[in-house]
């Protein structure tokens, strides 16, 4: 049994194997008519619990569709509707769910909940986002980069804006896939030092550059995310917007990247805030490929977890 809890908790060989499988799964569905299940019904007879303690569009729909395309069934649960939200321990919840389902995906606030669930579950657990990481998203992002531009190894990835949970998973990926990472944003919103140090310890260059133009120079990939994450207080909205406005990804900033640079955003986006529509809908953007690849990457992750 394998859990998929974080990119830095999964070996580079396994990550590479998952991405190769995701490419294969995507290719197998290419040209297939809508409404058809996968030829390989590997999840037939399997029940997958999808637990959401935070809102979701992409994660919820892509996991649900992915399981069904592979012949399995899903049970979508909200934390507040479960006893989990009313005092039952995570450990007991994990033990009980393990008697009913074959796989658990959870989106939660504190990563401690994810780790406790994984510790006590007898079935694989997948991290569908916590306040500190979002590994499924970054697997889709690496898949997307590589299908457009080839290997990401040695490339320059620039994160502009808030050093949030998605940025943290990019730093995990820098260490595992061997690409350089530049963070550009205000000092108060730097990624946690542990993420930067872990990536550096794996031999990759991680740079903090306050000037967004200098940061983006010759970038292969520019990434941003919403200025206020789901777990951030709305009371800080005005201050954060003022701090982050210089880091907006717009056409002027993208001109400093390589001519064939890609632009990514995991979505949902607040258009004209962290990125302009001209960039999001422009020639560098692969944002909807990223969203699609959640489906293929997660199918590969589920198969890896279950050894199928």
For residue 201, the minimal CB distance to ligand CP (Å) is 28
Residue 294 appears among annotated catalytic residues: yes
Residue with Cβ nearer ligand CP (135 or 175): 135
Q: How far apart are CA 160 and CA 141, in angstroms?
A: 16
Contact 263, 222 (CB under 8 A): yes
Residue with Cβ nearer ligand CP (204 or 275): 275
Cα–Cα distance list, 143 to 125, 140, 183, 218 (Å): 22, 5, 21, 21
Residue with Cβ nearer ligand CP (215 or 262): 262
Q: How far apart are CA 279 and CA 260, in angstroms?
A: 13
Residue 225 appears among annotated catalytic residues: yes
Q: How far apart are CA 298 and CA 137, in angstroms?
A: 9
* 233: CB partners within 8 A, 6+ apart: none
Which candidate in 134, 265, 296, 303 is catalytic?
134
Residues facing residue 52 across a β-bridge:
78, 107
Q: What is the largest CA-CA distance in the chain?
A: 55
- How far is C-alpha 165 from the geometric centre of its chain's CA atoms? 9
180: tokens are 């350089």
Phi, psi of 154 (to 5 degrees): 80, 0
Phi, psi of 67 (to 5 degrees): -60, -45
Residue 14 appears among annotated catalytic residues: no
- Written in H, E and C, the secondary structure of 4-23 is ECCHHHCCHHHHHHHHHHHH
For residue 225, the minimal CB distance to ligand CP (Å) is 9
Strands of the sheet with 221-224, listed across from one edge: 206-208, 180-184, 156-160, 221-224, 262-265
Residue with Cβ nearer ligand CP (78 or 98): 78
For residue 54, the minimal CB distance to ligand CP (Å) is 7
For residue 88, the minimal CB distance to ligand CP (Å) is 25
Residue with Cβ nearer ligand CP (96 or 230): 230
Residue with Cβ nearer ligand CP (58 or 303): 58
Which candidate in 294, 296, 298, 305 is catalytic?
294
For residue 294, the minimal CB distance to ligand CP (Å) is 7
Which candidate in 46, 58, 167, 266 is catalytic?
266
Cα–Cα distance list, 44 to 56, 104, 190 (Å): 25, 16, 44
Q: How far apart are CA 308 and CA 289, in angstroms?
A: 25
For residue 218, the minimal CB distance to ligand CP (Å) is 27
Residue with Cβ nearer ligand CP (132 or 156): 132
List residues near ligand CP by CB under 6 A: 56-59, 129, 137, 266-268
122: tokens are 């007898």
Residue 46 appears among annotated catalytic residues: no
For residue 31, the minimal CB distance to ligand CP (Å) is 27
Residue 137 appears among annotated catalytic residues: yes
Contact 221, 148 (CB under 8 A): no
Catalytic residues: 107, 134, 137, 225, 266, 294
């Amino acid at each position: 049994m394998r859990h998929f809890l974080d990119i830095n908790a999964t070996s580079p060989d396994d990550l590479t194997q998952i991405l190769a499988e995701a490419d294969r799964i995507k290719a197998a569905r290419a040209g297939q008519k809508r409404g058809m299940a996968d030829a390989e019904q590997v999840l037939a007879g399997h029940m997958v619990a999808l637990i959401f303690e935070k809102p979701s569009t992409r994660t919820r729909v892509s996991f649900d569709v992915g399981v069904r395309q592979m012949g399995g069934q899903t049970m979508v649960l909200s934390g507040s509707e479960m006893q989990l939200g009313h005092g039952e321990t995570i450990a007991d919840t994990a033990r009980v769910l393990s008697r009913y389902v074959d796989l658990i995906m959870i989106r939660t606030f504190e990563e401690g909940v994810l780790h406790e669930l994984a510790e006590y579950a007898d079935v694989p657990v997948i991290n569908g986002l916590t306040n500190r990481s979002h590994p499924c998203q970054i697997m889709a992002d690496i898949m997307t980069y590589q299908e457009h531009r080839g290997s990401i190894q040695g490339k320059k990835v620039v994160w502009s804006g808030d050093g949030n949970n998605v940025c943290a998973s990019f730093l995990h990926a820098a260490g595992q896939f061997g690409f350089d990472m530049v963070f550009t944003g205000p000092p108060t919103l730097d990624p946690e030092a542990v993420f930067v140090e872990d990536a550096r310890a794996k031999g990759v260059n991680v740079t903090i550059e306050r000037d967004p133009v200098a940061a983006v120079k010759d970038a292969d990939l520019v990434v941003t995310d919403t200025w206020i994450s789901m777990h951030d207080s709305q009371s800080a909205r005005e201050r954060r917007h003022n701090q982050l406005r210089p880091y907006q990804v717009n056409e002027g900033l993208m001109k400093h990247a390589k001519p064939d640079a890609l632009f990514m955003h995991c979505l949902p986006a607040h258009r004209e805030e962290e990125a302009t529509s001209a960039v999001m809908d422009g020639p560098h953007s692969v944002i909807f490929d990223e969203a699609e690849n959640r489906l293929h990457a997660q199918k590969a992750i589920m198969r890896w977890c279950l050894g199928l």
